[in-house]
Structure 1
Amino acid sequence: MITTMAGTGACPECGAATVSIHEAMPWCAGCEWNLDGYDRARQAREFGWSWIDRRTHRLAARLTRHQYAALVARPLESSGPGLAGVLTVGVSLLLLAGVLALAAAGVWLLFAYPFPNFAVVFGVALIALAVALRPRFGRIDPDLEVLTRDEAPELHALVEEVAGALGAPVPHVIGVDSDINAYATSVGLRRRRVLALGLPLWGALDGQTRVALLGHELGHFVNGDVRRGPVTQPALTMLGTAADLFRPAGGVQGGGILELIGEWLGRMVSWTLSKLLFVGHLVLVATALRDSQRAEYLADEMSARVAGTAGATRLLDVLLSEESVALVVRQGARGGHGAATWRAGLARSLDGAAERLPLVRQLSIREDTSLFTTHPPAGLRHRMLTARQWQDPRVVLTEDRAGRIDAELARHYERTGRIASWSA
């Protein structure tokens, strides 16, 4: 519901009436006064203390606005990682060198002295620590249903056409799942490229928003996203893993006074070390995600380049309407209807929300801002695209072609529909 507040609810900056939706803290739709404010009632806690969450939100809002202002007036072509990305790579290399040093020291202790000796115990401990901290390169999600070219030739052809229009590499694996989401990633030592399409989302999209979704996800293979580099993985995970390893476990029962004092001192050292490592982890992740958000803007630009600005901005509005997607898919599935009904239902929902959508986009600027989010607020992403030169689509997905793709996915749609119909 949209409400307007006058009198005492007037904007102190420009005097216009303030607005609010979803019972959010009011703001000015014109000059955006109070849009960067911290709404304790609606925003998720990150640290658990309101005074800290309020300050980190303000910092995130400043950084997010500054990044938008810096990018909106210049080309978004990828020129490699920015300063945050370079810092993340440097820290990752140092951490990786540290893990190799732990492993080497452990092996040296195993053979440096005649067996048996206490050095072996320390050597095994160092090797175990190095193994626990080793980089993980990911694997294909076991819930992902991989689609071969023989199973889905039309979908594979469309993905290849979009990749060609963007100058992006073709994924090694294309799969579907039952999430209202889509993602592109690289897994394993060989960095196999994986494209995953959530069928509730894919089925509810019309032709050009499907192309936009593919353009955005495939754009991640060429947009310099720091999260997808194998070298940067240690900086994003290693200190967090170490903090978990050093977190104090439950104390032992009984024992004398000396045992209790020793245990207390040990727990204090472990607690302090765990917290220091966790703070370092948070700092590194927050730094890396600045570069990741820049990459998201570039992926949106590539989405508009291949699907047209209209298709790319409509996709962002759909992503702001995830509850509507879930609702139309669930209702359609319970009525025994497939993707065509999902699309029609979502189109009606978006048309009915057209008047409210500008405020929904604005509110996302407040509620989707965080030091630890991988994406900029959808409202700023939409604003970035509309502020740039309008683009016509390079790839057009006709209704006939979309229908052939849906026919290839019919069995998977049925399974997704059954899952959706069971959900609350």
Structure 2
Amino acid sequence: MIDTTVTGGACPRCGTATVSPLHTVPWCPACEWNLEAYDAERIGPLFGWRWLDRRVHDIGYRMTRRQFDRLLGRPLGATGAGAATIVTAAASGLLFLGVVALAVTGLWLLVAFPFPGPSLLVAVPLLALAVGLRPRFGRLDPHADVLRRDRTPELFALVDEVAQAVGAPAPDVVAVNDELNAYAATVGFRRRRVLCLGLPYWGSLAPQERVALLGHEFGHFVNGDPRRMLLTQPAFTTLGSAADLLRPAPSTAPGFIEMVGTALGWIIQYPLSRLLFALHAVLVCVALRDIQRAEYLADEMSAKAAGTAAATDLLDATLRVESMALAVRREARAGHGPQRWQAAVAESWAANADQLPRLRQLSAREEASLFSSHPPTGLRQLMLDGAKRHEPAVVLTEDRSARIDTELAREYEAVRRTLAW
């Protein structure tokens, strides 16, 4: 194992030796002095101006910590919508009414004046804008493979058990894809519930960690997550779509009139586009506060289903997803399936177990952001530590986990070939 942890001078606050894993800006592991520091080399640019990126990071870190302190120790049943969700829903309602007003005005201009006529010059753009800004309700990923209950009964039985354990409705659709991720979503106007499991991720997890993953994803169906509420959808799409529609496109036409038109477009459209984008960013930042709250609550659902220990192990997996990806890809190229993926990932993690405490702390710096949908992984683990301990409500044995993998053998092989390529 290569130890990349560097110790520096003593902490000016408590005297403990500072640490710098992965050659980051050092901090104190005891009192967390300097943990909030902006590390430009690792966090990367957001807006491109160092002073602005630093300021936005500072604000994001403080807001993330403030939310963590407010939620720490609150009961599991506190799943009601917060103030941010109310603001988001109100803004969504106003935006939706604005789109309806554009459509109604365009139709009125078509009906109230002789056709064809000058009113078309206004009616058609208004109708086109209304169509472009219409609410998007999402759709099923066309690249995901939808599973049938009669072909994968063991997996569906586990899904039903975990959903019942957390008090969530079972998904309407269960699908798999080749990503190192998993998600639960609601799509379409009918708001169908979808669970999608990335097989490289699912296949690398230990059995009880799989239960924790399902518990977390199903928690999003009952934790008031604004992303899955019909009333809040316009807040996430309308202003951003308007900014894109109004952004002037560069003209390649050589004529003088075209050049004048392009210049006027930049003078009028560009400032308006940037204003709409700024409003969109502010609204999304507000909505993300409640989305992060929903992630904490989903973690508690995960602990309720699989036990606190398994939920914590699952969070550790997210800290080391890069090493997981390397191990899975290596084994896939060697022709191995999920059994070997699990073994390779476990070996990699065992060899680097001593780095985990520092990585958990480091996540509070590198994952804190105004524009992140998830709280830092380390804070999520601390939230679980401060909550009531749970024993597993659903236990997945090695044999049953293996039977589920056998059901998915065809999908695993397709994913293995994709990873090998």
Band the TM-score falls in, shorter-chain normalisation: over 0.9
Q: Report what 2:83 is aligned to.
A: 83
Residue 15 to residue 4, structure 1, CA distance change in 2 (3 Å): farther
Q: Is the deviation greater in 244-253 or in 278-287? A: 244-253
Q: Deviations over 1:206-247 (max 9, x none)?
A: 111000000000110001001111211111111011001111
Aligned residue for 2:27, secondary structure, equals coil
Aligned residue for 2:40, secondary structure, equals coil
Q: Report what 2:235 is aligned to.
A: 235
Q: Report what 2:5 is aligned to.
A: 3
Q: Report what 2:256 is aligned to.
A: 255
Q: Report the AA paired with residue 3 of structure 1.
A: T
- The alpha-carbon deviation at position 339 of structure 1 amounts to 0.9
Tell me how far apart the structure 1 counterparts of residues 218 and 135 of structure 2 sit (CA, whole Å): 25
Q: Report what 1:223 is aligned to.
A: 223
- Matched positions, count: 418
Tell me how far apart the structure 1 counterparts of residues 234 and 56 of structure 2 sit (CA, whole Å): 24
Q: Report what 1:304 is aligned to.
A: 303
Aligned residue for 1:241, secondary structure, equals helix
Tell me how far apart the structure 2 counterparts of residues 407 and 211 of structure 1 sit (CA, whole Å): 17
In 2, are the aligned partners of 1:78 and 1:224 still within 8 Å (CA)?
A: no
Identical counterparts, % of pairs:
57
Aligned residue for 2:20, secondary structure, equals strand
Q: Report what 1:418 is aligned to.
A: 417
Q: Is the deviation greater in 277-286 or in 224-233? A: 224-233
Q: Deviations over 1:335-387 (max 9, x none)?
A: 22211111111112222222110101111111111111100011111111112
Q: Report what 1:370 is aligned to.
A: 369
Tell me how far apart the structure 2 counterparts of residues 345 and 170 of structure 1 sit (CA, whole Å): 32
Q: Report the AA paired with residue 235 of structure 1.
A: A
In 2, are the aligned partners of 1:2 and 1:19 still within 8 Å (CA)?
A: no
Aligned residue for 1:118, secondary structure, equals coil
Tell me how far apart the structure 2 counterparts of residues 334 and 272 of structure 1 sit (CA, whole Å): 50
Q: Report what 1:61 is aligned to.
A: 61
Tell me how far apart the structure 1 counterparts of residues 106 and 312 of structure 2 sit (CA, whole Å): 54
Gaps of 5+ in 2: none
- The alpha-carbon deviation at position 22 of structure 1 amounts to 1.1
Q: Report what 1:135 is aligned to.
A: 135
Tell me how far apart the structure 2 counterparts of residues 104 and 77 of structure 1 sit (CA, whole Å): 43
Aligned residue for 1:193, secondary structure, equals strand
Q: Report what 1:290 is aligned to.
A: 289
Q: Report what 1:98 is aligned to.
A: 98
- The alpha-carbon deviation at position 391 of structure 1 amounts to 1.2
Q: Report the AA paired with residue 358 of structure 2.
A: L
Q: Superposition pairs for residues 5-404 of structure 1, below 5 Å?
A: 5-6=7-8, 9-251=9-251, 252-255=253-256, 263-404=262-403
Q: Deviations over 1:154-186 (max 9, x none)?
A: 000000000011110000000111100000000
- The alpha-carbon deviation at position 263 of structure 1 amounts to 4.6
In 1, are the aligned partners of 2:74 and 2:387 still within 8 Å (CA)?
A: no
Cα RMSD for the two superposed structures: 1.3
Q: Deviations over 1:130-174 (max 9, x none)?
A: 000000111100111000001100000000000011110000000
- The alpha-carbon deviation at position 398 of structure 1 amounts to 0.5
In 2, are the aligned partners of 1:24 and 1:39 still within 8 Å (CA)?
A: yes
Residue 260 to residue 200, structure 1, CA distance change in 2 (3 Å): closer
Q: Deviations over 1:186-217 (max 9, x none)?
A: 00011010000000111111111000000000
